[in-house]
Structure 1
């Protein structure tokens, strides 16, 4: 029984990383109706950015800040010069363009850092375990949970209590509404894209000490992100949080029960929930 509780606690930490990864994807899709298959590559860049900055400065916190800032900047540039011109295209075209962007970003990482997997050392201040009763919980998992909880509360406040959030919610319903209100839609889109992609970068930076950094992690991340978004409900803010925790705990528990089926289990959970709730847990029609 102890091993299952331990895995469940670990799964909560992983699930919060999935929340950060997928909430940006959900925000972008909810406002822009844009299918961003390059989201996983941005997660990848966030992991390598955190690794590089941490190695150069000795500060993991600076590495995390850089992972958000660098990926948000890439997101703004990509949105301004490329993706903005695809919003009115069919989703199939958006998928092809963002898959192509994924290849470009991934190969850029390979050219700079090489194709081999690289270990990212655990920060000294976050090494060790915390005794939760009789159960040891890695301090870094608690740190991840705390960071993601703070970010989640910040996002809730941003979208529910600020003028920018009101504009995003209005644009979520109708971009024409923003135009009628005299709001510059392109600026709202760019800021939303920067926030959504920056969160993917931060998720990559947090995940790097857990799994290392390698060029294949982007492809794995985009699959997880879409599972979480579809499970939680497309365009929802609460959905990625609940969906990420469900997927994280399921994957972690299955790795102890049936390691070979851990990846399969998340799709079974998604399919089971969608059979009962076709719109996802918090999705709209």
Structure 2
């Protein structure tokens, strides 16, 4: 049996895969948070609830409408994104001129309301959601068996993260979005509908969270508390990457997921706190985060 640093290769690669899967969810969720904060300057505490809504939307669509996984992967983010757009236009937009604390408190209250409602109707225990038949089973890589669905999670997450980064950083729409955060009055003077851009930005962040939720549904139990258990870690990922940094959210999400997975191999007792330890070290050495800009 091949050993690396006294650890069997199969065990090491298995934990590396777990780290990549967790990192996939960290990257998607922190990307949504970074998009919303970078363009709206709102700390969206409801992000975990929107992640949970994506998973529940897939579960309920399958249970009551017979909607399969592939359609739910598109339809659930659209529904949650539409709900996010309504929330932004009717409530959140009224808070932009106030202190950032008001936006944080509003989204925190929104998260508690959503999670409390789902907990009342569905209870705290999780419900299973089966992966599609095309993604069941595993592939023998020689040194480990790779579950096909978990491999799909990593690939799908990476593809969506890269696509969003390209749209924001390399397209005319992304240029408008970035400009609207710096000088909305000037951008509006050029005929750009800034309020619509901000609404679409929040909807995009909510849709990314919901997409992560649909991906997570076959891996974890669909539970009203699934977002609560994850959102604190995701906030730590965003801080390490740099608040508002799109690239930082993606890269740091994967790196910290892998770091957490490897810690479970070499020092399991620290696996629950390693991300926060890294966050503390980064904040001491570089307060703006690894990819953030010093103000």
Range class of TM-score, shorter chain? over 0.9
In structure 2, the CA distance between the partners of 1:232 and 1:123, relative to structure 1 (3 Å rule), is same
**2:137 matched to which residue of 1?**
128
Aligned length: 285
User: Is structure 2 residue 66 aligned with structure 1 residue 57?
Assistant: yes
- 1:193 equivalent to 2:202? Answer yes
Moved more, 133-142 or 230-239: 133-142
Instruction: Tell me which of 36, 44, 50 is aligned to 1:36.
Output: 44
Structure index of larger Rg: 2
* Cα RMSD, aligned residues only: 1.7
Match of 1:20 in 2: 28
Q: Mapping of 1:197-216 within 5 angstroms?
A: 197-216=206-225
Question: Paired residue for 1:68, among 52, 70, 77?
Answer: 77
Q: Which residue of 1 is the match for residue 236 of structure 2?
A: 227
* Unmatched runs of 5 consecutive residues or more in structure 1: none
For residue 258 of structure 1, report the CA deviation from its aligned partner.
Answer: 4.2
Distance change >3 Å, CA 254–CA 122, structure 1 → 2: farther
Q: CA deviation at 1:260?
A: 4.3
- Going by fraction, where is helix more abundant, 1 or 2? 1
Kept in 2: contact 1:53–1:66 (CA 8 A): no
- Which segments of structure 1 move beyond 6 Å, counting only runs of 4 or more? none
Residue of structure 2 equivalent to 1:250:
259
**Contact 1:175/1:185 (8 A) holds in 2:** yes
Residues in 2 aligned to 1:97 and 1:21: alpha-carbon distance in whole angstroms: 19
More displaced, 208-217 or 55-64?
55-64
Structure 2: gaps of 5 or more residues:
1-7
With structure 2 as the length reference, what TM-score do the two structures score?
A: 0.90
Query: TM-score of the superposition, structure 1-length normalised?
Result: 0.93
Kept in 2, the 8 Å contact 1:67–1:204? The answer is no
